[in-house]
């Protein structure tokens, strides 16, 4: 029996090759792998000895040869195939151990040249893998060093690799080559600055971890990451304390992080079930924390808190008195971290790049039965705005309007958010009509903060008012300014009501549905 070994990832390859050799399997190898094996005492032969043709074109051509691919692809139970091999003096190859040129590692380097990236596109490797996988019943094809032990165990126990294992290894080949080709096409698309959506969608992600379960205990789940640096992403955070993150933790925390990135000043976002429940901005992070917490002391229970400044001991002492699932911050004072760690189940994450946003052409993907729907992320806040009422917002009201507009962008539609003094005071998420969302946000503010909390507040709506009823309830609650996209055929009704009540209203001409 023969094994052809040519690997970029040389983890464990010497020990694996030695075990194959001990079992009487002849080793054929190429380039750097051959050198490593020979230096480690493995009696390998070079691929050119097998093909009787030298490597050429700087190694671009070395395994693309009939003696390689016929030896791999011949069906052992087909007498005609075996006769042809004998007539052509070609031996079978029974093991193909290949992983590919380090294209991913190459493009992740800073300022890598296109020419270097292209040179690291493997040609012979994928071809050998596909040949071996196609003939899986006769050839054991191994791409992952984690499978070496399984193959050796079966060889030791049974003298062969089982058909079931070969079928499993076949699957891994096509996962490996598919991911590899997808990464190449994504890189080329980026180099061409092509922002169009592809005609054929292929995506590749790397598994970070399996999870205990998904959204509910009967669902299986895992976390995957995009291939790249992923700065500002939850997958780049370091967990400093607590249980592993659950599916729901990750989903909710991601939403909170994306809202946090809308703010440059010290800001705290509290989130529950994918919706913000408290947001505060101020001149320092402690004051921002107080605002976020006092926005909704009820909903924050069992929630998530994300912060864009270092967490202080004073904050930590207050945070640990509340049941929180997750805290994320760019850094922690040493004493603050020690204090929070006394809550053994509290998931504490450090993300220094917490303010870095996604590229504007990043994808937002949702699975539907039978397919996916894909869009670019909602990367804009607004391009411009227009005051459409006789009353103009004051400077302070305008500041609060823009603050609250950021919040409502991340509230499930139909969504309404109320704000005052750079503090969210009431949020109405995910209602089936806009008036209910408006009423809910007002009721929350008056119940959770005070009867007069909405006096002088501002209101943000993620989409236009279809009727003037939202203006009516806003006026009754003492709200003085409104920000909304506009675009309804009945916009004038809402404008007229605002003028009647002396409320200022801004149209952003950009909606932010979040479904």
- pLDDT tops 90 at residue 283: yes
In this predicted structure, what is the pLDDT of residue 362? 86
**pLDDT, averaged across the chain:** 91
Q: Is 14 exposed, middle or buried (0-12, 13-18, 19+ CB in 10 A)?
A: middle
DSSP state at residue 412 = P
Alpha carbon dihedral 482, 488, 490, 496, in 10-degree steps, equals: 20
Q: Yes or no: say if 241 and 341 are a contact pair by the CB < 8 Å rule.
A: yes
In whole angstroms, how far apart are CA 305 and each of 156, 264, 308, 474, 499? 53, 17, 10, 29, 39
- Domains of the chain plus CATH, in order, are 2-191 (3.40.50.1380), 235-350 (3.40.140.20), 386-507 (3.40.140.20)
Report the distance separating Cα 82 and Cα 480, nearest Å.
87
In this predicted structure, what is the pLDDT of residue 257? 95
Report which of residues 177 and 32 the model is more confident about: 177
Which residues are CB-contacts of 479 (< 8 A; sequence separation ≥ 6)? 418, 442, 454, 456, 457, 458, 459, 503
- pLDDT tens digits, residue range 138-161? 999 999 999 999 999 999 888 889
- Encode burial over 98-123: b for 16+ CB neighbours within 10 A, e otherwise: bbbbebbebbeeeeeeeeebeebbbe
For 178-195, the three-class secondary structure string (H helix, E strand, C coil) is: HHHHHHHHHHHHHHCCCC
- pLDDT tops 90 at residue 398: yes
Percent of the chain with pLDDT over 70: 99
Name the nearest CA neighbour of 235 among 105, 326, 351: 351
In this predicted structure, what is the pLDDT of residue 194? 87
Report the distance separating Cα 313 and Cα 300, nearest Å.
20
For residues 304-316, give the mean pLDDT: 96
In this predicted structure, what is the pLDDT of residue 333? 97
Place of tokens 């193959």: 151
In this predicted structure, what is the pLDDT of residue 267? 98
Q: Yes or no: say if 393 and 506 are a contact pair by the CB < 8 Å rule.
A: yes
Which residues are CB-contacts of 360 (< 8 A; sequence separation ≥ 6)? 376, 377, 379, 380
For residues 28-42, give the mean pLDDT: 87
Confidence band for 82, pLDDT divided at 50, 70 and 90: confident
For residues 386-405, give the mean pLDDT: 97
Name the nearest CA neighbour of 336 among 285, 294, 295: 285
Mapped onto helix, strand or coil, the DSSP state of residue 211 is: coil
Report the distance separating Cα 65 and Cα 8, nearest Å.
20
In this predicted structure, what is the pLDDT of residue 324? 95
Q: Yes or no: say if 105 and 79 are a contact pair by the CB < 8 Å rule.
A: no
- pLDDT tops 80 at residue 166: yes
Report the distance separating Cα 167 and Cα 136, nearest Å.
6
**pTM, to two decimals:** 0.85
Tokens of 383: 């391009």
Confidence band for 482, pLDDT divided at 50, 70 and 90: very high
For residues 166-195, give the mean pLDDT: 91
Which residues are CB-contacts of 118 (< 8 A; sequence separation ≥ 6)? none
Confidence band for 376, pLDDT divided at 50, 70 and 90: confident
- pLDDT tops 80 at residue 304: yes
Confidence band for 491, pLDDT divided at 50, 70 and 90: very high
In this predicted structure, what is the pLDDT of residue 121? 86
- pLDDT tops 80 at residue 503: yes
In this predicted structure, what is the pLDDT of residue 66? 82
- pLDDT tens digits, residue range 440-463? 999 999 998 999 999 999 999 999
In whole angstroms, how far apart are CA 313 and each of 161, 340, 345? 58, 9, 19
Report the distance separating Cα 471 and Cα 494, nearest Å.
6
- Encode burial over 395-406: b for 16+ CB neighbours within 10 A, e otherwise: eebbbbbbbbbb
In this predicted structure, what is the pLDDT of residue 198? 86
Quote the crossing angle between the two packed helices 31-39 and 13-22, to the nearest 10°: 70
In this predicted structure, what is the pLDDT of residue 203? 87
- pLDDT tops 90 at residue 165: yes
Confidence band for 53, pLDDT divided at 50, 70 and 90: confident
Confidence band for 316, pLDDT divided at 50, 70 and 90: very high
Q: Yes or no: say if 425 and 453 are a contact pair by the CB < 8 Å rule.
A: yes
In this predicted structure, what is the pLDDT of residue 171? 95
Report the distance separating Cα 228 and Cα 187, nearest Å.
11
Residues carrying an active site annotation: 134, 273
Minimum mean pLDDT range among 91-95, 98-102, 172-176, 511-515: 98-102
Confidence band for 44, pLDDT divided at 50, 70 and 90: confident
Cα radius of gyration rounded to whole Å, the chain: 30
Q: Is 77 exposed, middle or buried (0-12, 13-18, 19+ CB in 10 A)?
A: exposed
């Amino acid at each position: 029996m023969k094994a052809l070994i040519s690997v970029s990832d040389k983890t464990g390859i010497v020990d694996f090759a030695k075990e194959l050799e001990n079992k009487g399997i002849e080793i054929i190898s190429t380039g750097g792998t051959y050198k490593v094996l020979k230096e480690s005492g493995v009696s390998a032969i070079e691929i050119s000895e097998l093909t009787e043709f030298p490597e050429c074109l700087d190694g671009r051509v070395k395994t693309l040869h009939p003696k390689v691919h016929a030896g791999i692809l011949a069906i052992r139970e087909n007498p005609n195939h075996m006769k042809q091999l004998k007539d052509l003096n070609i031996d079978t190859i029974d093991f193909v151990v290949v992983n590919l040129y380090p294209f991913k590692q190459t493009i992740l380097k800073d300022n890598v040249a296109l020419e270097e990236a292209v040179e690291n596109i493997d040609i012979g490797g994928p071809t050998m893998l596909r040949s071996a996988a196609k003939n899986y019943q006769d050839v054991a094809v191994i791409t992952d060093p984690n499978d070496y032990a399984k193959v050796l165990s079966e060889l030791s126990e049974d003298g062969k690799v089982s058909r079931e294992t070969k079928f499993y290894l076949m699957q891994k080949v096509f996962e490996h080559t598919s991911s590899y080709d997808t990464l190449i096409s994504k890189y080329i698309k980026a180099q061409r600055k092509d922002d169009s959506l592809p005609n054929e969608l292929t995506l590749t992600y790397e598994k970070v971890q399996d999870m205990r379960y998904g959204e509910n205990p009967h669902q299986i789940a895992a976390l995957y990451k995009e291939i790249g640096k992923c700065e500002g992403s939850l997958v780049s955070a370091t967990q400093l304390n607590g249980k592993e993150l659950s599916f729901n933790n990750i989903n909710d925390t991601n939403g909170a992080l994306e809202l946090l990135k809308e703010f440059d000043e010290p800001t705290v976002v509290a989130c529950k079930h994918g919706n913000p429940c408290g947001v505060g901005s101020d001149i320092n992070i402690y004051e921002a924390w107080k605002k976020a917490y006092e926005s909704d002391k009820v909903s924050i229970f069992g929630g998530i808190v994300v912060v864009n400044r270092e967490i202080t001991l004073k904050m930590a002492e207050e945070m640990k008195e509340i049941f929180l699932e997750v805290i994320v911050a760019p850094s922690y004072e040493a004493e603050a971290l020690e204090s929070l760690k006394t809550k053994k189940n509290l998931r504490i994450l450090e993300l220094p790049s917490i303010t870095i946003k996604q590229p504007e052409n990043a994808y937002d993907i949702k699975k539907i039965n039978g397919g996916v729907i894909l869009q670019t992320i909602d990367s804009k806040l607004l391009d411009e705005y227009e005051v459409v009422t006789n009353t103009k917002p004051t400077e302070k009201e305008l500041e609060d309007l823009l603050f609250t507009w950021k919040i409502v962008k991340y509230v499930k539609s139909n969504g309404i958010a109320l704000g005052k003094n750079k503090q969210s005071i009431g949020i109405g998420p995910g209602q089936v009509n806009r008036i209910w969302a408006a009423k809910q946000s007002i009721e929350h503010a008056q119940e959770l903060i005070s009867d007069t909390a909405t006096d002088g507040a501002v209101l943000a709506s993620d989409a236009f008012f279809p009727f003037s009823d939202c203006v009516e309830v806003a006026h009754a609650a003492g709200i003085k300014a409104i920000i909304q996209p506009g675009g309804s055929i009945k916009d004038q009704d809402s404008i007229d009501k605002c003028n009647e009540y002396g409320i200022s209203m801004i149209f952003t001409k950009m909606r932010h549905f979040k479904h």
